Amino acid sequence: MGTAIHVEVWHGDAALAQRAIDAVLEQMHHVDTVMSPFRPESELSQVNRNAADAPVAVSTELAALVAHALRLSELTGGAFDITFASVGYLYDYRTHTRPDAATIRRSLPAIDYRHVQVDPQAATIAFTSPGVRIDLGGIAKGYAVEQSAALLRGMGIEHALISAGGDTRVVGDRFGRPWMVGIRHPRDEYGIVTRLPLQDEAVSTSGDYERYFDEDGVRYHHIIDPGTGDSARSVLSVTVIGADATLTDALSTSLFVLGVERGIELIDRLPGYEAVIIDRHGTLHYSAGLVAP
């Protein structure tokens, strides 16, 4: 998944705790094997190669997650769209590569989640249009972290913290106190903007400082506005808190695209989900449930 995994488990039985940590790492590895766009033999890569020609048989797990991603496209009015990759693959942040305007214009029609057809029963995925690619980078880490939390609870672990990049899920509390998770300052690697108390819930942050390059004063980064094929630039970071890490992950990416006004409006419609958005001037905006009465 191209990211550091952090697992913290508290349990009286050290051997069990170690087995639990091993199980989480195995789960992360499994998700990466199925969903990595960088592994030519991953199910995801096979879909991208073949789904425009004929439906591709996949695991029920991948079919279900893609179906979930498509529902989130509906929920977010298309801000979350795994077909962003139809243009997104043309960027390489490490080598400072980006598509020019004409190339974006040519590939942009391929960005539309409605081009993706999933049959969850048959476990197949098909694309109804050529040039479509999907990428689960905006949801797979949250999913892996959520699956890992379920795995730990199944093993009898009641206090744990799992994080993969910007996605964190805590199990239980930290011995009578909440887990404290900091929101990084978007322009100061070591600065913390605020700390959030968490208990049995998830937090995801999306920022424009993870994968990016600057060119002529413009930042090209890894969160793509499906409407333009260009990086979304109205905010610097979005943090979403809620019960389910799969959802907080996808929503943090979505709100990044939607911006302050439409983002807060969306999160305020979702019971149990809250957000902190840092706009491009560095001002913090909170969803209704985080504003002191």
For strands 202-207 and 188-198, give the pairing. Answer: unpaired
Residue whose CB is less far from ligand ADP, 93 or 286:
93
Say which entry of ligand ADP, Mg ion, none residue 229 contacts (CB below 5 to 8 A, set by partner kind).
Answer: none
Judged by CB under 5 A, which of 44, 249, 259, 276 binds Mg ion?
249
Strand partners, 184: 192
Distances (CA, A) of 244 to 63, 76, 138, 203: 19, 17, 14, 9
Question: Minimal distance in Å, beta carbon 138 to ligand ADP?
Answer: 3
Cβ 84 to ligand ADP shortest distance, Å: 4
Per CB under 5 A, 254 contacts Mg ion: no
Q: Which is closer to ligand ADP, CB of 168 or CB of 172?
A: 168
173: partner contacted, choices ligand ADP, Mg ion, none (Cβ within 5-8 A by kind)? none
Question: From ligand ADP, Mg ion, none, which one binds at residue 82 (CB under 5 to 8 Å depending on kind)?
Answer: ligand ADP
From residue 224, give the alpha-carbon distance in Å to each of 7, 24, 83, 228, 273: 29, 30, 10, 8, 23
Instruction: Dig out the tokens for 168 from the structure.
Output: 């964190």
Distance CA 276, CA 273 (A): 11
Q: Where do contacts with ligand ADP occur on this chain (CB under 6 A)?
A: 80-82, 84, 135, 137-138, 141, 165-167, 206, 210, 222-224, 226, 249, 252-253, 257
Task: Render 215-245 in DSSP notation, one character per residue.
Answer: ETTEEEES-B-TTTSSB--SEEEEEEEES-H
- Residues 68/74, Cβ–Cβ less than 8 Å: no
Q: How far apart are CA 54 and CA 255, in angstroms?
A: 33
Shortest gap between Cβ of 211 and ligand ADP (angstroms)?
A: 6
Q: Report, in Å, the least distance between residue 138 CB and Mg ion.
A: 5
Distance CA 225, CA 232 (A): 5
| Minimum distance from residue 180 beta carbon to ligand ADP (Å) | 20
Q: Where in 193-212 is the site for Mg ion (CB under 5 A)?
A: 206
Least distance to ligand ADP from the beta carbon of 156, Å?
Answer: 29
Interacting residue ranges for Mg ion, rule: CB under 5 A: 138, 206, 249, 252-253
